[in-house]
Amino acid sequence: MKAIRVHQFGGPEVLSFDDIALPEPSVGEARVKLQAAGVNFIDIYHRTGAYKGALPLTLGQEGAGVVDAVGEGVTEVKPGDRVVYSSIQGSYAEYARVSAARLVPIPAGVTTEQAAAVMLQGMTAHYLTHSTFHLKAGDTALVHAAAGGLGLLVVQLAKQIGARVIGTTSTEEKAALAKEAGADEMILYTAQDFEAEVKRLTGGKGVDVVYDSVGKTTFDKGLNCLRPRGYMVLCGQSSGAVAPMDPQTLNAKGSLFLTRPTLAHYIATRDELLWRSNDLFKWMGDGKLNVRVDKTFPLANAGEAQDYLASRASKGKLLLIP
């Protein structure tokens, strides 16, 4: 089978379109014939070595397709089932071997591509708004990169809850997409000082929570946008890693909270995995959650897809099609 692998860390040029052996499912595992794989910033971090894995490494953390074979003891799925998964390495490939307990059935009203597009970022948006900082009606959230794949989902879930959403983005076109998703106010950080605008929009009070997937270029000013005892939720670093900081800074700026969550800790059990994923599928079926696929790329063009994501030009989800 074909797979995109990394034999040494580096830029897109290190991606290798390899022929490798078809994986055989072991006890408790299923083999999935992949029909779509999500492209995420974590894949770039693995490629560059920012997150180090054993080489050679097959990239990709999110995939959807059809169960092709199952190992001994599998009861969760059977051959022919449409399934989706995330947070398991190796989806930039034609087939993947996955623990059956981590597979989620795709309901009839959701396409395989939609499932691949919502799984990682959708469950991330779910835990950010329902667990990391449990938004309530009347709360105000600042969402950076509000027109990206994650941002559009966070905006929609926050508005379902009844929160006020202030978003940031780089262009009028992206701002329009975020407004369509429900954002109450949009700030063009390329033309406006987002800190000053947030303070103006909140009457100087600040926001309850900042969802920051950008990192280096937004983090410091984001702290200044928070109310006393507000939450900085650092959920990505598309502009680069945040510099080390003195914890006393949190005290000086209002006894702030800072967290750097990751999805794996919020889907640690199958019950939690199914709670988050089934919520998403229900909202999609009810027309309450729109999952926007921006572009699809052939599997062999994974480097092009990652370059497009890294340019921060994307307006929704990017998928690879084996």
Residue 203 lies in domain: 137-260
The pLDDT score that the predictor gives to residue 92 is 98
List strands edge to edge, sheet with 2-6. 15-19, 2-6, 57-58
What mean pLDDT is predicted for residues 182-206?
96
Does residue 309 share a domain with residue 201? no
Does residue 97 share a domain with residue 17? yes
What mean pLDDT is predicted for residues 71-78?
96
Task: Report the predicted TM-score, pTM, of the whole model to 2 decimal places.
Answer: 0.92
Q: How confident is the model at residue 298 (pLDDT cuts 50, 70, 90)?
A: very high
Residue 32 CA to chain centroid, in angstroms?
21
Q: Is residue 127 part of a domain?
A: no
d(CA 233, CA 255): 14
Per-residue pLDDT for 315 more than 90?
Answer: no
pLDDT one-digit tens code per residue, 25-42: 999 999 999 999 999 999
Per-residue pLDDT for 312 more than 90?
Answer: no
d(CA 43, CA 46): 5
Which of 260, 289, 309 is where one domain is finished? 260
The pLDDT score that the predictor gives to residue 4 is 98
The pLDDT score that the predictor gives to residue 167 is 98
Does residue 271 share a domain with residue 256? no
Which residue bears the tokens 């897109």? 12
What mean pLDDT is predicted for residues 54-58?
97
Tokens of 321: 């099609």
Residues 138/304, Cβ–Cβ less than 8 Å: no
Q: Is residue 242 part of a domain?
A: yes
The pLDDT score that the predictor gives to residue 139 is 98
* CATH at residue 110: 3.90.180.10
The pLDDT score that the predictor gives to residue 302 is 98
Task: Report the SS3 class of residue 25.
Answer: coil
pLDDT one-digit tens code per residue, 211-238: 999 999 999 999 999 999 999 999 988 8
Per-residue pLDDT for 314 more than 90?
Answer: no
Residues 110/284, Cβ–Cβ less than 8 Å: yes
Q: What is the largest CA-CA distance in the chain?
A: 61
What mean pLDDT is predicted for residues 125-140?
98
Q: Is residue 314 part of a domain?
A: yes
pLDDT one-digit tens code per residue, 144-184: 999 998 999 999 999 999 999 999 999 999 999 999 999 99
Counting the structural domains of the chain, the total is 2
Does residue 242 share a domain with residue 284? no
